[in-house]
Amino acid sequence: MTANQTFTNAKFDAGWSIRFESDEAAPAGGRVVSHRARSLIVDEGDASNAVYEIVEGGVMVFKLLPDGRRQIIEVLGVGDVFGLAPTSVSDVSAEALTPVRLVAFDRRAVEGDPALRDRLFNRLRSQICALHDHALLLGRKSAQERIATFIMRLVPGRGGVACTGPGRTGQTGRDDRTQVGLAMTRQEIADYLGLTIETVSRAFSALRREGIIAYEKQDEVRIANVCRLCHLTGSH
Amino acid sequence: MTANQTFTNAKFDAGWSIRFESDEAAPAGGRVVSHRARSLIVDEGDASNAVYEIVEGGVMVFKLLPDGRRQIIEVLGVGDVFGLAPTSVSDVSAEALTPVRLVAFDRRAVEGDPALRDRLFNRLRSQICALHDHALLLGRKSAQERIATFIMRLVPGRGGVACTGPGRTGQTGRDDRTQVGLAMTRQEIADYLGLTIETVSRAFSALRREGIIAYEKQDEVRIANVCRLCHLTGSH
DNA sequence: CGCCATATTGAAACTAGTCAACCGGAGTGG
DNA sequence: CCACTCCGGTTGACTAGTTTCAATATGGCG
């Protein structure tokens, strides 16, 4: 019942794997749709009249240039919304990062339902902060800082929009899980951070060499030194 | 009366100097505030409970890193809104680009007024598209492409989110004003495009050398070849 | 007229990109 | 079962584009 309010953070803090045990899985006017990992949900230029809210899983929103360059604009988790272009033509593409369950609302349903629109609106406000933060990353941070920021964003309660800086563990009481799952390939990380795959790889290797992070599987990272990593983000 | 609906574009297409001849200059619950050019409107971290809508002039929304690096996140024009962070603490700073007139709504006024919230919401949808587009620019475009994109965005009816590509003049019937006012310093342009002032200057000089643009005053640019400039944006 | 801030230009340094080789695990087929 | 291939990741050498540092121009304004 309180579920909708608990995911306060704009980032993918909430994780991708949290199961949404809701009794209103398909709220009024919405229909639930599922997608396999890496399947395309909407394509830039599509005349889609749906607004999506993520119930389970993760979604990547991206844009392409004619020559193939890709920028992943945002990585969304449970509770996030997308498909809110001002016209009925989508300005971005969206792809499932993990197996994903979505609620698709018809555009008209959104217009007619103030409560729903309110929820989307509030959600959107968080996401806009994330977009702001990401613009700062893309415009002004070095490759190292981008990778550090990226990893820190995955730490629950840290690295997000309202990260309180390098304080000690357990600001909310819960233990500082320093093991994070990336869930993205190096190419996806590169396209998200505005880098190349090689630069991403090198930055990860450098962090490992310096003992700040550790990993065997390349998408399961243990953060050995949260404080140092946090400093490397450039934000603190 | 139709004024609110005519500014369809997310970018600063609408210009900064359009006077808003509205009889509802201070809509219910809002108060009009004015700022001189380059004065700070809100500071990142401020506990501001206001949501702003621009009535006249331009505003730059930006973030700073502790070491002084600045990223201008968005450049807003008439009709645009800002100050919609999910908490009462602003995630960004805002500075007047020109002398500016704003309507400041109390956060509670927004909550209680569905019509107002609708207007803000719709406005925001356009601005989100602009943020998406700018993320693509910051993450994936070269310096030349960024400058070309920047200039094209200033051309009414072109370069915006829904630019139809290098078609001929007068898609909306009005004449293709190829004279645009930058209104921003080189430093501001640099901070907006994620470049340095020198790189911005060089890119402008290069475009001039190649005869694509011309200017005497450095903030009054005449676009000699719209098509070529449009191609240089990387988007077409 | 001269000062100050802003812009331009040049040269050197550096970061990230490009190109290419190599590694290693997962899946395939002989 | 093992060799082979494929794909994603890592690493190295070199290159290109942008930044940095520094000098020079320009323009507004007292």
Under 8 Å between Cβ of B30 and B55:
no
Q: Per-residue pLDDT averaged across B192-200, rounded?
A: 98
Q: Per-residue pLDDT averaged across B10-14, rounded?
A: 41
Distance (Å) from CA A216 to C1' D5? 24
Helix axes A114-140, B114-140, angle to 10 degrees: 30
What local confidence, expressed as pLDDT, does residue A111 receive?
84
Distance from CA of B154 to the nearest CA of A (A): 20
The token pair at A184 is 């993205």
**pLDDT tier, B6 (very low <50, low <70, confident <90, very high otherwise):** very low
Q: Per-residue pLDDT averaged across A166-174, rounded?
A: 47
Sequence ranges of the domains in chain B: 3-135, 142-232
Q: Are strands A81-82 and A179-181 parallel, antiparallel or unpaired?
A: unpaired
Categorise residue A13: left if φ over 0, alpha if ψ from -120 to 50, beta otherwise. alpha
Q: Are strands A100-106 and A81-82 parallel, antiparallel or unpaired?
A: unpaired
Amino acid in position A61: V
Are B86 and A126 an interchain contact pair (Cβ–Cβ within 8 Å)? yes
CA-to-CA separations, B214 to A21, A166, B13, B115, in angstroms, rounded: 61, 50, 20, 45
What local confidence, expressed as pLDDT, does residue B153 receive?
96
For residues A44 and B223, what is the distance between their CA atoms, to the nearest angstrom? 29
What local confidence, expressed as pLDDT, does residue B112 receive?
86
Helix (H/G/I), strand (E/B), else coil: A121: helix
Q: Per-residue pLDDT averaged across A84-108, rounded?
A: 94
For residues B214 and B220, what is the distance between their CA atoms, to the nearest angstrom? 9
DSSP A11: S
CA atoms within 13 A of residue B113's CA, in its CB half-sphere? 17
What local confidence, expressed as pLDDT, does residue A23 receive?
41
CA-to-CA separations, A19 to A10, A54, A180, A230, in angstroms, rounded: 18, 11, 18, 29
Q: Per-residue pLDDT averaged across B10-22, rounded?
A: 44
**pLDDT tier, A177 (very low <50, low <70, confident <90, very high otherwise):** low
CATH of domain B142-232: 1.10.10.10
What local confidence, expressed as pLDDT, does residue A24 receive?
46
What local confidence, expressed as pLDDT, does residue A210 receive?
96
CA-based nearest residue to A20, from A29, A32, A36:
A32
Nearest CB to B136; choose among A71, A118, A235:
A71
For residues B214 and B219, what is the distance between their CA atoms, to the nearest angstrom? 11
What local confidence, expressed as pLDDT, does residue A14 receive?
45
What local confidence, expressed as pLDDT, does residue A2 receive?
35
**pLDDT tier, A233 (very low <50, low <70, confident <90, very high otherwise):** very high
B chain contacts of residue A122, beta-carbon cutoff 8 Å: 86
For residues B74 and A135, what is the distance between their CA atoms, to the nearest angstrom? 9
pLDDT, tens only, A20-51: 444 445 566 789 999 999 999 999 999 988 99
**Mean of the per-residue pLDDT values of chain A:** 85
User: In chain A, whose CA is at the least distance from the CA of B236?
Assistant: A66
- With distances taken from each CA to the C1' atom of nucleotide C8, the closest residue turns out to be B201
What local confidence, expressed as pLDDT, does residue B8 receive?
28
Under 8 Å between Cβ of B235 and B132:
no
What local confidence, expressed as pLDDT, does residue A15 receive?
52
Neighbours of B106 (CB within 10 A): 14
Are A73 and B125 an interchain contact pair (Cβ–Cβ within 8 Å)? no
The answer on pLDDT for B5 being more than 90 is no
The token pair at B215 is 């200017």
**Mean of the per-residue pLDDT values of chain B:** 85
DSSP B129: H
Tell me the CATH class for A141-232: mainly alpha
- The protein residues having a beta carbon less than 7 Å from any atom of strand D are A 185-187, 197-198, 200-202, 204-205, 218-219; B 142-144, 194-196, 198-199, 202, 216-217
A chain contacts of residue B163, beta-carbon cutoff 8 Å: none
pLDDT, tens only, B94-118: 999 999 999 999 988 888 888 888 8
Distance (Å) from CA A150 to C1' C24? 26
The residue behind tokens 């909708």 is A4
For residues A60 and B187, what is the distance between their CA atoms, to the nearest angstrom? 33
**pLDDT tier, B171 (very low <50, low <70, confident <90, very high otherwise):** very low
What local confidence, expressed as pLDDT, does residue A162 receive?
54
CA-based nearest residue to B1, from B32, B27, B24, B30:
B24
The answer on pLDDT for A12 being more than 60 is no
Are A140 and B234 an interchain contact pair (Cβ–Cβ within 8 Å)? no
What local confidence, expressed as pLDDT, does residue A176 receive?
58
For residues A84 and A54, what is the distance between their CA atoms, to the nearest angstrom? 13
**pLDDT tier, B178 (very low <50, low <70, confident <90, very high otherwise):** confident
Residue B3 phi, psi (nearest 5):
-50, -45
**pLDDT tier, A159 (very low <50, low <70, confident <90, very high otherwise):** low
What local confidence, expressed as pLDDT, does residue B130 receive?
97
CA-based nearest residue to A67, from B140, B207, B148, B193:
B140
**pLDDT tier, A167 (very low <50, low <70, confident <90, very high otherwise):** low
The answer on pLDDT for A107 being more than 90 is no
Tell me the CATH class for B3-135: mainly beta
The answer on pLDDT for B169 being more than 50 is no
CA-based nearest residue to A109, from A31, A56, A20:
A31
For residues A162 and A129, what is the distance between their CA atoms, to the nearest angstrom? 10
For residues A175 and A183, what is the distance between their CA atoms, to the nearest angstrom? 22
Of A82-96, B17-31, B51-65, least confident by mean pLDDT is B17-31
Amino acid in position B47: A
